[in-house]
Amino acid sequence: MKKAAFITLLIVGMIRLSALSQSVSFELSTKTQVEVGEQFQVVLTLSAEGSNFSGPDFKGFDVLTGPMMSTSSSINIVNGRMDRSFNQTYTYIIMAQKAGEFTIGPASVTVNGNRLTSNKVTVRVTAGSTNPGKAEVSGSNDDIFLKAVPDKRKVSLGEQVIITYKLYTKVPIANLTVTKISSFPGFWMKNLLDTNKEIKQSRQVINGSEYIVADIRQVALFPQKSGTLSIEPMELSCTAQIRVQSQRNMRDPFEAFFNDPFFNRGIQNVEKKLTSEAISIQVEPLPTAQRPADFKGAVGQFGFQSSIDRDQVKTGDAINLVYTINGTGNLELIDLPAPVFPSDFEVYEPKITTDIKTNAGGISGSRKVEYLIIPRVRGSFTIPPVHFVYFDPRTSTYNTLSSPEYPIHVEKGEGSSASEGMTASSQERITYLGSDIRHINLKKTSLKNKNDFFFASWLYFLIILGGSLLFALALLRHRKLDHLRSNQSLMRLRQATKVARKKLANAQAHLQKKDQDAFYLEMSQALWGYLSDKFTIPRSELSIENVKATLQQRKAPDELIDAFVDALNNCEFARFSPGDAGQKMDDLYRQGIELITKTEGTIR
């Protein structure tokens, strides 16, 4: 009997597992007819919980974003019978490249150890418009482009060239990523922009249209050979917000309401790849006629100074002689002056100090060389003048700057006995060693009884007691912190609104000061931080997809979810968005307050 019952249960279990596996579906759905350049969704729906997802083959299409995963579940009870449904969805946004028929291959996923494969779909791509209800993206290549701007295209050998890479945009953009950096063969290069600072922005009107112009990169180049030198293009990618113009009439007043700009339903995020043009620089050789023999390759506009700290010394005394070159040009490539010293002078290795400044005007600053010299023989000596020669490309002439001649009179030193010597530990410091006989110490000293000990004294016991009390307090503090850490999620939930309001107050202060960068940073931290604390999402896992999935699981309305996603995107896009900056900041601040208020009233 037991054996028969076991077999019966086994057969029933196998039938139920078979029915369960047969009920799992994995379907690919999308449009079957689109136009060239049209963006459309590909949705894969799995009626179970899967893992190890492998996407389809999109040959013939550009994948703009995806896969974006979301889940949904529902439970229905009818006449005491409970039905549960669960769906897992993977969404791609792709774009047709060219006309023809293309097949989107099947995707695969693992469910309960079994590998499931979806269907494949053939899509016909046409060149013309065949769907009057299609949403068209209003945008062109003139809306956003990248340009390399050199300050000059014809220079002399060694002359400074400044190239600025400018991004022009009429639409909001975000996620700027440099995918290819220009190479500069034949040039010595120096970056002029600090990558850790905010991108410099300005506004410019071109052909009647206002653009936001951002300086992405700026470099100073110094050609090291003559001829025509080519600079390769720079490439970057970004996400642009493009407005979608719908051609169908909105008869539903609710649809018209949710297409209001507050919910940004008429906006699409589009990946853009931008390339600057190649640049050719004509480099002329330096004139050979009337070139001074002391010319060492300095090109620019420079000044030359020298100084000496004293010209009358005794043998063994140190003298500091300094030569300084300052100005604009190839400072870091200049050979520094090398004076000729008398043979009876001891000369240490020179100390070189470089102070280079970079800005939009190029490279400027100074280089200083400092010599430490010590006369060993008495007499009168002369340090001859030093000549510094540079080529000025503005006047196409060689200029010679000279230091004065320095006469030095050396007398016999007084402290040259055998008991005194002088050593130099480096070129920067000279140390004189005195007599090895030490003076008697005449200062008063304190004496104490030899039988006095620290152990078992009142101070000893006071320290022991104080240490015990400090240990007890530290132990209590540690236990309290452990208790707080165990309830960290609850604490974050309770403080979510409080922290968000503090951030919003900071954002309002920056709003009143019209400080855009600080305002958008505080708004972004307020929204992301509120979502992290409210729904216990770790900061490292915060993303648009996770936020959407979490809000869907908490049964948040679709319009609230979309508004939250748009607000998060707008914090990044608004920095590069043309128009009235003050109005955009006011709208975003109001939107953030309304979103947090609605979330508190909707989701508990």
For 8-65, what is each residue's pLDDT tens digit?
455 444 444 444 444 788 899 888 888 887 778 888 888 888 888 888 888 888 887 7
437 or 138: whose pLDDT is higher?
Answer: 437
Residue 357 has what pLDDT? Answer: 87
Q: What is the pLDDT of residue 389?
A: 93
Q: Which residue has the higher pLDDT, 602 or 117?
A: 117
pLDDT digits (tens, 9 = 90+) for 293-333: 889 889 999 999 999 998 899 988 899 999 999 999 888 88
Alpha carbon distance 345, 417 (integer Å): 20
Query: Tokens in use for 563?
Result: 């508004």
CA 147 to chain centre: 21
Question: 85 has which bridge partners?
Answer: 74
Q: Is the pLDDT of residue 390 over 90?
A: yes
CB within 8 Å of 591: residues ≥ 6 apart: 262, 563, 567, 570
Whether 448 has a pLDDT exceeding 80, the answer reads no
Kindly tell me if the per-residue pLDDT of 192 is higher than 50: yes
Over residues 536-542, mean pLDDT: 72
Q: What is the dihedral of CA 299, 231, 283, 367, to 10 degrees?
A: 10
pLDDT of residue 487: 47
Lowest mean pLDDT among 75-79, 508-512, 543-547: 75-79
HEC string of 174-235?
A: EEEEEEECCCCCCEEEEECCCCCCCCEEEEEEECCEEEEEEEEEEEEEEECCCEEEEECCCE
Assign 167 a pLDDT band (cuts: 50, 70, 90): very high
- Percent of the chain past pLDDT 90, that is, above it, reads 19
Detail the DSSP E strand segments found in 403-466.
Answer: 406-411, 421-424, 430-433
Is the model's pTM score more than 0.85? no
Beta bridge pairs of residue 96: 61
Which of 40-49, 370-379, 395-404 is the least confident region?
40-49
Q: What is the pLDDT of residue 400?
A: 92
Q: Which of 63-72, 465-474, 519-528, 574-583 has the lowest mean pLDDT?
A: 574-583
Average pLDDT over residues 234-247: 74
Between these two residues, 322 and 89, which has the higher pLDDT value? 322
User: Which tens digits make up the pLDDT trace of 201-222?
Assistant: 888 888 888 888 988 889 999 9
Identity at 424, one-letter amino acid code: A
